[in-house]
Structure 1
Amino acid sequence: MEITTLIAAAASGLMAGTFFAFSVAVMPGLADLSAEHARAAMRRMNVRIQNPVFLLLFVGNVVLCGIEVFQGRYVGGLLYIVGAFVLTMVVNVPMNNRLERTDDAYWPEYLRRWTLWNHVRGVACLASTVTLSLGL
């Protein structure tokens, strides 16, 4: 296995773990709070997640997976690029932006939809890890 493939697979696995933790712990924990407190906490997390370590992993793996696609490992590379990065930019980030602009009434819809799409991102990252590890 090439070093870029190994790093891309590991990075996809780390992202799968991040999304998994949000799906099984963070979001259910926030669901137990009032809309006001849950929304405030999620807004804070949305700010804090934008740090150099996370962004290097999240965006850096787009570059690595792009290399994987050009080297013929289409499935694993595209699973991450589309399933994690594109979905985040097209679905989750706009929802996060709306959460910033709206009141607490949006929280129940946000919680349901954001978590659903987070599950999809997690599965895509896990699938990317497996397929890259298999050289696909």
Structure 2
Amino acid sequence: MQRLDIILLWFSAIGCGLLAGLYFAFSAFIMTAFGRIDRAHGIAAMNSINSTIVRSLFMPLFLGTTLSCAALAILAMFRWGEPGAAITLAGGLIYVVGMFGCTMVFNVPLNNELARAGAADAGAVWARYLKRWTFWNHVRTLASTAAMALFVAALAI
């Protein structure tokens, strides 16, 4: 493997691992805890997280890992005959589609809907949000974890 590949693999593996851990925390206990508290407080907490996270160190990691994984997938196609290319391509595609795509198509629109919910429809929106957002967060958790494992496997070759 070339030096750029190794740097991208390490960055991607670490980034995927960090994001998998964050998503796991939301899936394992944060969303359950929000569902157990008063609806207005749960909505306020989630809206606060959603507005804070886009102005935090999360965004460079989120976007940088996505770009790195996409670059690895593209490089793997050009190095198809080399050892580790197939698992690198798989890791990149799983992450970009399963984490980034899922976030943009499902989680972000649900976040936007929650932010726009008025008092009259907050109960229905919150109940739907908890179920759907958490389901898609499980997908992001699994995709990030699988991509990390595949990148570590590629590094081991």
The answer, yes or no, to whether TM exceeds 0.5 is: yes
Could you say which residue in structure 2 is the equivalent of 1:96? Answer: 111
AA partner of residue 131 (structure 1) = L
The structure-2 alpha-carbon separation of the partners of 1:25 and 1:4, relative to structure 1 and needing over 3 Å to count, comes to same
AA partner of residue 25 (structure 1) = F
Aligned equivalent of 1:122, options 141, 145, 151: 141
1:53-98 alpha-carbon deviations (Å, 9 max, x no partner): 1011000011111111122121011111111111101100000000
Q: Does 1:84 align with 2:113?
A: no
Instruction: Return the alpha-carbon distance in structure 1 between the equivalents of residues 22 and 129 of structure 2.
Output: 19
Instruction: Return the alpha-carbon distance in structure 1 between the equivalents of residues 73 and 111 of structure 2.
Output: 29
Structure 1 counterpart SS, 2:30: helix
1:88-127 alpha-carbon deviations (Å, 9 max, x no partner): 0110000000001113221011001100110110000000
Could you say which residue in structure 1 is the equivalent of 2:28? Answer: 24
Number of aligned residue pairs: give it.
136
Aligned equivalent of 1:15, options 14, 19, 25: 19
Structure 2 unaligned spans of 5+: 77-87
AA partner of residue 142 (structure 2) = V
Length-normalised TM-score, structure 2: 0.83
AA partner of residue 7 (structure 1) = F
Q: Which moved more, 1:47-56 or 1:8-17?
A: 47-56
Instruction: Return the alpha-carbon distance in structure 2 between the equivalents of residues 8 and 63 of structure 1.
Output: 9
Instruction: Return the alpha-carbon distance in structure 1 between the equivalents of residues 21 and 69 of structure 2.
Output: 18
AA partner of residue 41 (structure 1) = A
Q: Does 1:46 align with 2:65?
A: no
Deviation of residue 52 (structure 1)? 4.0
Instruction: Please report the RMSD computed on the Cα atoms of aligned residues, expressed in angstroms.
Output: 1.4
Instruction: Return the alpha-carbon distance in structure 2 between the equivalents of residues 61 and 52 of structure 1.
Output: 15
Q: Which has the larger radius of gyration?
A: 2
Return structure 1 stretches of 4+ with deviation > 3 angstroms.
none
Instruction: Return the alpha-carbon distance in structure 2 between the equivalents of residues 135 and 29 of structure 1.
Output: 37
Structure 1 unaligned spans of 5+: none
